[in-house]
């Protein structure tokens, strides 16, 4: 569950470059929205395990959610840079 989040985050720049190659702004937002959906589902799962799993608590769920939301906000803040790299690659490939 926690290892998947880091893998999703490591793929974001590559997907943004791909969105730039297609010059598609919805593709720029889609990975962040999917990742946000994953974080909310994981948060609900952790909260659902409170009282059942020894490591699950409401405080832990909040800590993990805030940490991951801040990390996602940082990634989303730099998303225009990989997108513009993809757009420049597209123009370079089309002009050749």
The whole model's pTM is what?
0.85
**Has residue 4 been placed in a domain?**
no
pLDDT along the chain (96 residues), means of 10: 83 95 92 94 92 88 94 95 97 91
**Has residue 55 been placed in a domain?**
yes
Domain total in the chain: 1
Q: Give the whole-angstrom CA distance, residue 83 versus residue 18.
A: 8
**Has residue 73 been placed in a domain?**
yes
**How far from chain centre, in Å, is Cα 1?**
14
- Answer whether 83's CB lies under 8 Å from 20's CB: yes
**Has residue 3 been placed in a domain?**
no
pLDDT of residue 18: 95
**Has residue 25 been placed in a domain?**
yes
Instruction: Produce one character per residue of 34-51: b if its CB has 16 or more CB atoms within 10 Å, e if not.
Output: ebeebbeebbeebeeeee
Nearest to 14 by CA among 1, 33, 27: 27
pLDDT of residue 3: 80
Domain span at residue 33? Answer: 9-95
**Has residue 77 been placed in a domain?**
yes
**Has residue 59 been placed in a domain?**
yes
pLDDT of residue 6: 86
């Amino acid at each position: 569950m926690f290892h998947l989040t880091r893998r999703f985050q490591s793929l974001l720049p590559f997907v943004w470059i791909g969105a730039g190659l297609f010059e598609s702004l919805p593709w720029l937002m889609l990975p962040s929205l999917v990742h946000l959906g994953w974080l909310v589902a994981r948060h609900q799962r952790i909260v659902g395990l409170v009282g059942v799993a020894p490591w699950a608590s409401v405080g832990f769920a909040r800590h993990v959610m805030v940490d991951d939301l801040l990390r996602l906000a940082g990634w989303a803040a730099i998303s225009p840079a990989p997108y513009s790299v993809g757009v420049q690659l597209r123009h370079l490939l089309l002009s050749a």
